[in-house]
Structure 1
Amino acid sequence: MSTKEWQVAIFGTFDVANYGDLLFPILAEAALQKRLGAVRLRAFSYHSRSTPEWPYPVTSVSELPQFVDSLDGVLIGGGFIIRFDKVVAPDYFPPSPQIHHPTGYWLSPALIALQHNVPLIWNAPGMHRNPIPCWAKPLVRLALEQSTHVRVRDALSANTLRELSEQVQVEVLPDTAFGLPELIDPQQPTPAYRRLCETAGLHGPYLVVHAINGLERFLHLWKTHSATFARWQLLLLPIGPVLGDQESTLGTGLPRAVSLATWPEPLLLAEILAHAQGVIGHSYHLAISALAFGVPIFSSADLSLGKYTALREYRGVHALPNGQAIDPQWFLQRLGTTQPCPRVSAAREQVHRHWDRVAELISQGPRSTSQALDRFWQALPGLLEETHLDWREECLSKQAELDELKVRLQQLTDLQAQQQELIGQTSGELERMYSSSSYRITAPLRSIRRGFRYLLRRWNRC
């Protein structure tokens, strides 16, 4: 193990109060220090943060140019950060208008690292049902092809990125939060956890409830079958305050419910989950943390969509019934901690090998990637022009589709007008017929005919 102090940067949204995002630098630093010895891990996000108000220092991406030449490695992610939409979190924007949003905290740093020959590693970031726009494809392709190690956290993300280039090996890596048992031992509660339980009034087994909307059926179960669950307390816990999580969302009148005076720092929150008898909620990292410690997770997420598809293969994830009441016996039978399932153990081993490889790549030193970037900058004007032409062709194609739809709409409108006119004509003729003297004179004959048909039908049935 080298005596050198390695300088490593990790990029993501570590400047927001969201449990999963805050975990990644902590997990990365512990894993790399275990393998490399002295490691200075610098977390980069849009905005700077400092202790003790924040769990660890965060450096603004606006300062990256002055640090990049001293770096031995760059990690991108994890979390849902491979994205191009503007609504990442409420009022969350770059520190400078010159930094693109939202690629300024993941794609731009990746390209800067490559320009300075710094080994670039994708630390299991992910997408979530979001496409890559045309303008970004050349840049993302470049970053992928020049990276030393590309791992993403689910198959859907991997498939989307693989479509960009046949040269790059994009592989799926389970979320690095599966490595939490390396840092937390449920058999040895920390003093901080003991103090929290004492302060909050948690004196026995408890369930954790994610403080969000959408859990009404579970809350109804808890209220209407209170006696069934009398041995458990309920801990109301925000997972992502930046996303609006708050205890008041769950309402009042919940039997044996407690909440915390302050939002716990990431590892303490993870320890709370490790000691729970069950977890109810929507958060992806709520589920991952529970799985890592063998705690059953009752998920309100749609496990058939996006990033949540990665959870379906793990025993211990139970989808809450959609559109129907929760059977108390079904819920009761699934409570209680167990040994993590074999799939979780395999995920931990994959994460372990990932960190072995990351440490190896960092220790190998700089890579010659700047020339590839230089060639890309030479080609960039042409790419921008092609992207503009592609965009123009796409607009023309969309306009043609729109024109066709307008023609069809006009045809349908004309047809509807013709039908209305025909209905009006028919109604007028019927009205004239009903009001004619011949129609009134023949009315008795029509009545006799109806009566005769009725008698004939009865005769045929006899």
Structure 2
Amino acid sequence: MSDKTWQVAIFGTFDVANYGDLLFPLIAEAELRRRLGAVRLHAFSYHPRTAPQWPYDVTSVSELPQLIGTLDGVLIGGGFIIRFDKMVAPGYYPPTPQIHHPTGYWLTPALLALQHNVPLIWNAPGMHCNKVPSWAVPLVKLTLELSPHVQVRDTPSQTALSALSDQASVEVLPDTAFGLHNLIDLQQPSPEYRQLCEQAGLNGAYLVVHAITGLESFLQLWKTHSALFAQWQLLLLPIGPVLGDHESILGEDLPRAVSLPTWPEPLLLAEILGHAQGVIGHSYHLAITALSLGVPIFSSANLDQGKYTALQDYQGIYPLHAVREIEPQWFLERLVRRTPCPRLIEAREQLHRHWDRVAQLIAQGRRPTRQALDQFCQTLPGLLEETHQDWRQECLDKQTELDELRMQFERLKQQQQQQAQLMEQTCGELERMYRSSSFRITAPLRFLRRHVNHLLGR
């Protein structure tokens, strides 16, 4: 182990109040220090944050050009950050318009690392079924092919990125939050945990419920069968305040419900989940924390879609439907803490090898990637021109589709006009018939016919 203080950067959305995102720098720093000794981890995001108002210091990506040359390694992720849509979170945008959104906190840092020969490592980020636009394909392909260690957190992400390159080796790695057991000692509750429980009035066993909508079936179970759950309190816990989580969403008529005086820092929140008898909610990292610490998780997420497919093989996760009534005995039978299942043991071993490899790559020093990036820059004008032509053709195709829709609209409009004219003509003929002398003269006969039919029971 070297006496050097290693300078390592990790990139993601660590500047927002979302539990899962805030975990990654803490886990990475702890794992790398076990292997490398002194490590200074620089968490980079759009906006700066400072402790103690924030769990740790966060550096703005606007400062990266001045700092990239001092780094010994760059980690991208984890979390859902390999994306190109603009709506990352409400009001979340780069510090300056010159930084592209949203690739400014993951793709641009990756390219800068390659330009400065800094080892580039994909630390299990995810895509969650989004796609790479044509303009970004060459850039993402380059970063994949020049990265010595590309790990993503689920199969959909692997499939999407592997399709961009035949050379890059993209592998699936369990989310690094499955390593939380290395950071939290449930046998020795921390003083901060004891103090928070006292402040919140948590004085015994409890369940945690995620403070979001969509958990009506559980809330109804808790209220309807309150006596069955008399031994537990219910802790209302926001997981992602930046996404709108709040205790008030769950209502004010929940028996034995308590909430925390403040939103806890990430590892304290994980400890709270680890001491729960059960957890109910939707969050991905809520589920991972519960699974990694042996707590049963009742998840309202669709486990057959996107990133959640990575959780299917773990024991202790139970699907929870939003409106379907929950059978009380079914729920109670599953409120049992679990020892690590085979899939969890395997995940921990995978993560151990991952961090060994990350530490090894950082210790090996700089990699010769700058020349490859220089060569790529030579091809960049041509790529931009091709991309422009692709977009031009795509625009032409869209214009053709639009023209066809307009033609269909005109045809429908003509049909509507013809029907209106026919309706007007029919109404006119009926009106003339009603006003005619013959119609008025035969009116008594029609009345007599209706009366006779009525008498005959017709």
TM-score normalised to the size of structure 1? 0.91
Match of 2:221 in 1: 221
Map of 2:262 onto structure 1: 262
Residue 140 of structure 1 corresponds to: 140
Is the CA contact 2:9–2:74 (under 8 Å) kept in the aligned structure 1?
Answer: yes
Alpha-carbon distance change, 421 to 235 in structure 1, aligned in 2, over 3 angstroms: same
- 1:6 to 1:144, Cα distance in 2 relative to 1, 3 A: same
Deviations 1:148-181 (A, max 9, x none): 1111111111111112111111111110000001
1:24 alignment partner in structure 2? 24
Partners in 2 of 1:242 and 1:274 — Cα distance?
23
Aligned counterpart, 2:248:
248
Matched residue type, 1:88: V
C-alpha distance in 2, partners of 1:165/1:448?
A: 87
- In the other structure, the counterpart of 2:4 is 4
Q: What is the alpha-carbon distance in structure 2 between the residues aligned to residue 38 and residue 302 of structure 1?
A: 41
More divergent stretch after superposition (376-385 vs 338-347) = 338-347
**1:232, distance to aligned residue in structure 2 (A):** 0.8
Greater CA drift, 164-173 or 47-56: 47-56
1:429 shift after superposition: 5.1
Distance 2:345 2:287 in 1: 15
Q: Which moved more, 1:149-158 or 1:317-326?
A: 317-326
Aligned to 2:340: 340
* SS of aligned partner of 2:228: coil
Cα deviation code 1:250-274 (max 9, x no counterpart) = 2212111111111111111111111
1:402 lines up with 2:402 in the alignment:
yes
CA distance in structure 2 between the partners assigned to 1:125 and 1:22 by the alignment? 14
- Tell me by how many angstroms 1:49 deviates: 1.8
| Contact 1:208–1:235 (CA under 8 A) maintained in structure 2 | yes
Task: Calculate the aligned-residue CA RMSD, in Å.
Answer: 2.6
Instruction: Answer with 422-431 or 383-392: which moved more.
Output: 422-431
TM-score calculated relative to the size of structure 2? 0.92
Which amino acid letter does the alignment assign opposite residue 14 of structure 1?
A: F
- In the other structure, the counterpart of 1:126 is 126
Equivalent residues of 2:216, 2:323 under 8 A apart:
no
Alignment partner of 1:227: what SS?
helix
Task: Quote the residue 1:363 is aligned against.
Answer: 363
Q: Check the 8 A contact 1:294/1:341 in 2, yes or no.
A: no
Q: How high is the sequence identity, in percent, across the aligned residues?
A: 73
Give the counterpart letter for 2:63 in structure 1: E
Q: Which residue of 2 aligns with 1:211?
A: 211
AA of the residue aligned to 2:95 = P
Moved more, 339-348 or 111-120: 339-348
Letter in 2 for 1:65: P
Paired amino acid for 1:245: D
**Alignment of structure 1 residues 298-317 onto 2, 5 Å:** 298-317=298-317
Q: How many residues align?
A: 458
Q: Deviation of residue 350 (structure 1)?
A: 1.4
Amino acid at match of 1:417: Q
In structure 2, the CA distance between the partners of 1:440 and 1:341, relative to structure 1 (3 Å rule), is farther
Question: Any stretches of 5+ residues in structure 2 without a counterpart?
Answer: none
Larger deviation: 34-43 or 318-327? 318-327
Contact 1:6 1:39 in 2 (8 A): yes
AA in 2 matched with 1:36 = L
- Equivalent-residue separation in structure 2 for 1:354 and 1:189 (angstroms): 29
**1:233 aligns to what?**
233
Check the 8 A contact 1:314/1:341 in 2, yes or no.
yes
**Residue deviations 1:299-351 (CA, integer Å, cap 9, x gap):** 22233332223223323222212432222222222213112332222222211
Could you say which residue in structure 1 is the equivalent of 2:65?
65
Give CA deviations for 1:431-455 in whole Å, capped at 9, x if unaligned: 666777778999999999999x9xx
Going from structure 1 to structure 2, the CA distance change for 1:410 and 1:5 (only over 3 Å counts) comes to same
SS at match of 1:228: helix
Task: Show CA shifts across 1:85-141 (max 9, x none).
Answer: 222223222222222221111111100000000110000011123222222222111
What SS does structure 1 have at the residue aligned with 2:348? helix
Partner Cα separation in structure 2 for residue 434 and residue 339 of structure 1: 87
Counterpart secondary structure, 1:3: coil
Say whether the 8 Å CA contact 2:8–2:71 is kept in structure 1: yes
Q: Aligned-pair distance for 1:280? A: 1.1
